[in-house]
Amino acid sequence: MTFAEIRERAVAEWEVMERSGKPRILVGAATCGRSAGALDVLQTINAELAKRNLDATVIQVGCIGLCYIEPIVEIAKPDRPRIFYSGVNADIAVQLIEDYLVNDNPRPDLALGALGEGSLDGVPQLFDLPMLQPQVRVTLRNCGFIDPEDTNHYVVRGGYSGLARALQMTPEQVIEEMKKSGLRGRGGAGFPTGTKWEFCHRAVGTPKYLICNADEGDPGAFMDRSVLEGDPHAVLEGMLIAAYAIGASEGYIYCRAEYPLALERLDIALRQMKELGLLGDNILGSDFSFHIKVKEGAGAFVCGEETALMASIEGKRGMPRPRPPFPAQSGLWGKPTNINNVETLANVSAILERGGDWYAGYGTEKSKGTKTFALAGKVTRTGLIEVPMGIPLRQIIYDIGGGIVGDKAFKAVQTGGPSGGCLATDLLDISVDYESLTAAGSIMGSGGMIVLDEESCVVDVARYFLDFTQKESCGKCVPCRVGTKQMLDILTRITRGQGQPGDMDLLLSLGQTVNQGSLCALGGTAPNPVLTTIRYFRHEYEAHINQKRCPALVCLDLITFYILPDKCQACMICQRSCPVDAIKGGKKLIHVIDQSKCVKCATCYEVCPERFSAIVKVSGETIEVPEEPIPLGAEE
Amino acid sequence: MMDIAKLTIDGKEVEVERGATVLDAAAKADIYIPTLCYHPDLTPFGACRLCLVEIENMRGFPPSCTTPATDGMVVRTSTEQLQGLRQGIMQFILTEHPHPCLTCHRLEHCKPFDICLRHVAVTERCVLCPKNERCELQQVARYLKLSEITLPYESRELPIERGDPFFDRDYNLCILCGRCVRICQEVRGLGVIAFTFRGHQALPGTAFGRSLKDSDCHFCGACVDVCPTGALIERAGRWYTLPEREVVTTCPYCGVGCQLKLEIKDERIIRVIPQRDNSPNWGQACVKGKFGLDFVHSPERLTSPLIKENGQFREATWDEAMDIVTGKLSQYQRGTEFAAISSAKGTNEENYLVQKLARAVMGTNHIDHCARL
């Protein structure tokens, strides 16, 4: 089939659906929606429609990125704007069917936003919502709006026109278009995509391979999963364009097995592509042939590193090897290979569709385009966002993220996952682009963004990330295998109150050895969380080491719970809740915590009625309390 | 493309063929760069990170063992920063490897292999390491002149694997250089051992932790020969320390003629190491050559011909024995009464002579060879 025929058929089928007059119900049922109960909602909707004998089209769509209010359901009725409802459960779903589908009351009270022509009183436009308004969605252009299992939906929204355009160009022209766009690798390293393709294009050897790196491993990053689940064709089209540009005939998608839904969607999409002549020999009637295999990764963080990834595809242990030779010269099975990340490839299809100049219109001088971020942690609105490069960090956290939960104070933001760093308050106004983040000691990485508030201990956060990298080290090179372990031991000691003077200097010096000596980027960047927290939060380390005090009251060995005798009303709630019977006391006897038994689970702290607030959590200080329970009122 | 690359290493100009690494080039220029995971018979691994160098116009500190030498390269191998980095990395290695042999306060008072009674924990004494003074790690660590070792050593506390014949595996001494893994895979083509687990738990091992006997190991001992530390060690020669002399000889087992270096002490063969720079074996041997030469010292070994008379063997001279053999054989020169079976221990030439003797002298075609049986 030619592209014109594919497009014609898609548009025709889309119009049939539009004109059918049937309401459409779109349920956000990506992994995030499902974990919030989207499948229950879906089941309820289907059952309710059957029970009432209503005719409606129900579609599972991907995630629009508003993770904090999943599950999200969109209802589109003819001659009405499309209305998005958030936090839908089975009850609300039944109400929506009853009220909106049957009685035509769109329930503005439950609606989150509206989209399309027309408006609804009291319901804002979806893209005017504070979380969505500053966003520019390129990678995520279709996520949550199309049926990822129906190629027609993708094609109707412009899909595969980028490929069709690329096939009219020479590979060199496609590479030139990529260079013009300024796109840089979204997997973390930020290498210019066009240049990378050019290396592989010029390399001698056949066959050439194109690999899509979908081994997303950073804790807290989920953009690749979301794109594969919500818009797999965007990535696959990007793969075809990249393969055409470099001259690859074989492709692999290395996707982690922990993403079953993404794998399923990929499987369906690949089957559809073959049926439409978008994959295999002579794609869209051209001379270009390309085949794709999916390789499931077994869940090793290091396999996201390109040389380890290729070793894993070859059936070997996933361990990085030094470069040179670079994959473009000698990659998979010794052949020229190009590896791009999921997000990069999803951008590629958009760039070829709309032009390199259009893409380069976003972003900064050296960091063009848009970038997705997985906004998580202590921020009010968590989710998956996409913003133009160069946006101030503050705008992401406060405008899009809605600031810190519970109006607590912002402390730091960790960007780039375990390879990145913690940035403090005075860096809130830096521009989010490759250069600025690197200059601040962090990295862009794959786009994890974890916000910490005043109740988070940065030493503990650094310890957490180092624990992760230490465990995920492949063990091959000495600095990464041993150095991260040594640094972790020191950090653990500090969080346990056994820090020694000089520990910070030792950490800095070990961190430098690990950074300079490691074989791959896993080890090379592993010290970043420690180095940046020492750089920006030296006083917190000093408090832990010198005063044995955790200012954020997090490190268990450094905090103590006390029951204030003048506030305790001997209600016995805490005593009954204590899991280790560490609270002594009784009726009309004020309670006392036996510190030798206390495991610092904070249960008492949480259950003590607010009107008493008799339990305090302190660090680095001792509060004088009776050793044994004394009668209520006796202390006065 | 140029087949020769001319580069400058520490100010010295050196020319190497295309395909050579920076480490090869340095060796050619007589510049020593410390290495541990590197082995000339194996593909470069880049794991120990001791051979890091500085190369102009290259980012960071590339390992010289994997970086191809290219024309015009300017390499520095021993700047202050590199020395510091190597020392830091060596310190990391020594947190996984017992090292009182480098740090014991008696070091300057003791002669090598002095009996040591109390200065260091029993399991970590230098004299209780089977590779003491033969250890590559020890040599490289001494070269790097660590001023002090501040990071704590933590024993892996693993039991020594003694369940297999011929050699022991003590992974408490392993530094994960991967030479054993690579030689088994690349040179022997077996892949009996591979890296297992990850992070700080990573170690070479067999599939599912089974014994080597149950893992298709041929006990060629190649892994033992390349191990830079005492992690893999021949059981028989374990405590013999350094040899008094070495003898290069031909393996007596079969006609291949492997060249072996015998390490001799007290007139006994204490270890056998296949010769690396000789054909036909280029550093390799089989289980018999590597571990089977202890028969040399057997009291039951025949040292002169024996002739049986009246049911009893008596020692005889070679002349006497040969006379009896030729005398008796000459009685059977009529074809059907004689057959010859020759041995793979003989060379091709020797086996040719056996069949010549059988056909031309004994007049028979009844000839066979143990390799066919």
**Selection from A444, A413, A474, A525 nearest residue A187 by Cα:** A444
Q: What is the pLDDT of residue B36?
A: 98
Beta-carbon separation of A324 and B49 below 8 A: no
Q: What is the pLDDT of residue A635?
A: 58
**Selection from A79, A86, A83 nearest residue A126 by Cα:** A83
Q: What is the pLDDT of residue B123?
A: 78
Please identify which residue in the block is written with the tokens 């295309």: B18
Kindly tell me if the per-residue pLDDT of A634 is higher than 80. no
Omega cis (within 30) before A71: yes
| CATH topology (fold) of A459-546 | de novo design (two linked rop proteins) (1.20.1440)
Distance (Å, whole) CA A331 – CA A318: 14
Q: Confirm if A447 and A219 have CB atoms less than 8 A apart.
A: no
When CB atoms are compared, the residue of B44, B52, B195 closest to A317 is B195
At B153, give phi and psi (nearest 5°).
-80, 135
Distance (Å, whole) CA B9 – CA B29: 8
**Selection from A532, A540, A545 nearest residue A418 by Cα:** A532
Is some CB atom of chain B closer than 8 A to the CB atom of A476?
yes
Beta-carbon separation of B199 and A470 below 8 A: yes
Cα four-point dihedral sign B339, B345, B349, B350: negative
Is some CB atom of chain A closer than 8 A to the CB atom of B292?
no
Per DSSP, the three-state class of A425 is helix
At A371, give phi and psi (nearest 5°).
-140, 135
Residue spans in chain B of domains classed CATH 2.20.25.90 = 243-301
Beta-carbon separation of A474 and B67 below 8 A: no
Beta-carbon separation of A478 and B92 below 8 A: yes
Let me know if domain A13-128 sits in CATH 3.40.30.10.
Answer: yes
Is some CB atom of chain B closer than 8 A to the CB atom of A493?
no
Q: Which residue of B has its CA nearest to A483?
A: B92
When CB atoms are compared, the residue of B46, B66, B199 closest to A471 is B199
Q: What is the pLDDT of residue B2?
A: 58
Is some CB atom of chain B closer than 8 A to the CB atom of A312?
no
Any idea what DSSP says for residue B293? G
A256 torsion bin: left (phi>0), alpha (psi -120 to 50), beta (else): beta
At B125, give phi and psi (nearest 5°).
-65, 145
Is some CB atom of chain B closer than 8 A to the CB atom of A305?
no
Q: Which CATH architecture has domain B243-301?
A: Single Sheet (2.20)
Contacts of A481 in chain B (CB under 8 A): 176, 199-200, 202
Q: What is the pLDDT of residue A234?
A: 97
Distance (Å, whole) CA A233 – CA A310: 23
Q: How far apart are the first and last CA of chain A?
A: 90
* Alpha-carbon distance values, A558 to A533, B261, B323 (Å): 19, 62, 95
Q: Which residue of A has its CA nearest to B36?
A: A478
Cα four-point dihedral sign A163, A169, A172, A174: negative
Cα four-point dihedral sign A201, A203, A205, A208: negative
- Chain A: closest CA distance from residue B36 (Å): 11
Q: Confirm if A222 and A32 have CB atoms less than 8 A apart.
A: yes
Distance (Å, whole) CA A242 – CA A250: 11
Contacts of A524 in chain B (CB under 8 A): 60
When CB atoms are compared, the residue of A325, A482, A524 closest to B92 is A482
Both structure tokens of A381 = 């609105």
Beta-carbon separation of B198 and A474 below 8 A: yes
Please identify which residue in the block is written with the tokens 């064709």: A233
Residues near B312 by beta carbon (within 8 Å), at least 6 away in sequence: none
Report pLDDT digits (tens) over A336-388.
Answer: 999 999 999 999 999 999 999 999 999 999 999 999 999 999 999 999 999 99
Q: What is the pLDDT of residue A88?
A: 96
Residue spans in chain B of domains classed CATH 3.30.70.20 = 162-240
Q: Confirm if B262 and B240 have CB atoms less than 8 A apart.
A: no
Distance (Å, whole) CA A214 – CA A344: 11
Kindly tell me if the per-residue pLDDT of B373 is higher than 60. no
Which segments of chain B does DSSP mark as H helices, in order? 22-28, 80-94, 100-103, 136-144, 179-182, 222-226, 287-291, 318-329, 348-356
- Chain A: closest CA distance from residue B267 (Å): 41
- Chain A: closest CA distance from residue B306 (Å): 57
Beta-carbon separation of A302 and B198 below 8 A: yes
The interface pTM score, or ipTM, of the predicted complex is 0.91
CATH of domain B162-240: 3.30.70.20
Contacts of B85 in chain A (CB under 8 A): 513, 516-517
Q: What is the mean pLDDT of residues A53-70?
A: 94
- Chain A: closest CA distance from residue B22 (Å): 12
Q: Characterize the bridge pairing of strands A111-115 and A82-85.
A: antiparallel
Kindly tell me if the per-residue pLDDT of A606 is higher than 60. yes
Beta-carbon separation of B85 and A477 below 8 A: no
Distance (Å, whole) CA A578 – CA A564: 17
Beta-carbon separation of B89 and A470 below 8 A: no
Q: Which residue of A has its CA nearest to B179?
A: A476
Q: What is the pLDDT of residue B135?
A: 96
Residue A636's pLDDT band (boundaries 50, 70, 90)? low
Q: What is the mean pLDDT of residues B356-363?
A: 92
Contacts of B67 in chain A (CB under 8 A): 322, 324
Is some CB atom of chain B closer than 8 A to the CB atom of A321?
yes
Is some CB atom of chain A closer than 8 A to the CB atom of B233?
no
Beta-carbon separation of A516 and B68 below 8 A: no
Per DSSP, the three-state class of B6 is strand
Beta-carbon separation of A519 and B61 below 8 A: no
In a 13 Å sphere around the CA of A21, the CA atoms on its Cβ side amount to 1
Contacts of B68 in chain A (CB under 8 A): 324-325
At B145, give phi and psi (nearest 5°).
50, 60
Q: What is the mean pLDDT of residues A59-67?
A: 95
For chain A, the structural domain boundaries read 13-128, 160-360, 370-456, 459-546, 559-631
Report pLDDT digits (tens) over B120-161.
Answer: 777 788 888 999 999 999 999 999 998 788 899 999 999 999
Both structure tokens of A347 = 């951008």
Q: Which CATH architecture has domain A559-631?
A: 2-Layer Sandwich (3.30)
**Selection from A423, A472, A470, A411 nearest residue A448 by Cα:** A423
Beta-carbon separation of A513 and B85 below 8 A: yes
Q: What is the mean pLDDT of residues A266-280?
A: 96
Is some CB atom of chain A closer than 8 A to the CB atom of B85?
yes
Q: Confirm if A113 and A125 have CB atoms less than 8 A apart.
A: yes
What strand order describes the sheet that includes A421-424?
A383-388, A370-377, A448-453, A410-415, A421-424
Q: What is the pLDDT of residue A352?
A: 96
Kindly tell me if the per-residue pLDDT of B1 is higher than 70. no
Q: What is the mean pLDDT of residues B188-196?
A: 96
Which of B:43-72 have CB within 8 Å of A? 44-49, 52, 60-63, 66-68
Kindly tell me if the per-residue pLDDT of A134 is higher than 90. yes
Contacts of A301 in chain B (CB under 8 A): none
Distance (Å, whole) CA B373 – CA B370: 5
Tell me what percent of the residues of chain B surpass a pLDDT of 90: 80
Please identify which residue in the block is written with the tokens 């069949």: B355
Q: What is the mean pLDDT of residues A257-282?
A: 96
When CB atoms are compared, the residue of A300, A510, A516 closest to B60 is A516
Kindly write down the DSSP assignment for every residue of B106-150, as one continuous string: TTTTPPTT----SSS-GGG-GGGSTTTTT-HHHHHHHHHT-S---
- Chain B: closest CA distance from residue A321 (Å): 7
The model carries a pTM of: 0.92
* Alpha-carbon distance values, A583 to A78, A566, A606 (Å): 64, 16, 14
Mutate which of B49, B97, B203 to test chain A, going by most A C-beta atoms within 10 A?
Answer: B49
B360, with CB counted inside 10 A (0-12, 13-18, 19+), is: exposed
- Chain B: closest CA distance from residue A514 (Å): 8
Kindly tell me if the per-residue pLDDT of B238 is higher than 70. yes
Both structure tokens of A431 = 């521009």
Report pLDDT digits (tens) over A397-440.
Answer: 999 999 999 989 999 999 998 999 999 999 999 999 999 999 99
A-B C-beta contacts closer than 8 Å: 102
Let me know if domain A370-456 sits in CATH 3.10.20.600.
Answer: yes
At A268, give phi and psi (nearest 5°).
-65, -45
Angle CA A525–A527–A531, to nearest 5: 120
Both structure tokens of B321 = 């024995």
- According to DSSP, the residues that pair with A617 across neighbouring strands are A561
Kindly tell me if the per-residue pLDDT of B107 is higher than 70. yes
| Assigned superfamily of A160-360 | NADH-ubiquinone oxidoreductase 51kDa subunit (3.40.50.11540)
Report pLDDT digits (tens) over A568-595.
Answer: 999 999 999 999 999 998 889 999 999 9
Q: Confirm if B222 and B252 have CB atoms less than 8 A apart.
A: no
> What angle in degrees, to the nearest 10, is found between the helix axes of A484-495 and A458-472?
150
At B64, give phi and psi (nearest 5°).
-70, -20
Contacts of B93 in chain A (CB under 8 A): 478, 482
Average pLDDT in chain A: 95
Q: How far apart are the first and last CA of chain B?
A: 54
B124, with CB counted inside 10 A (0-12, 13-18, 19+), is: middle
Q: What is the pLDDT of residue A269?
A: 97
Is some CB atom of chain B closer than 8 A to the CB atom of A470?
yes
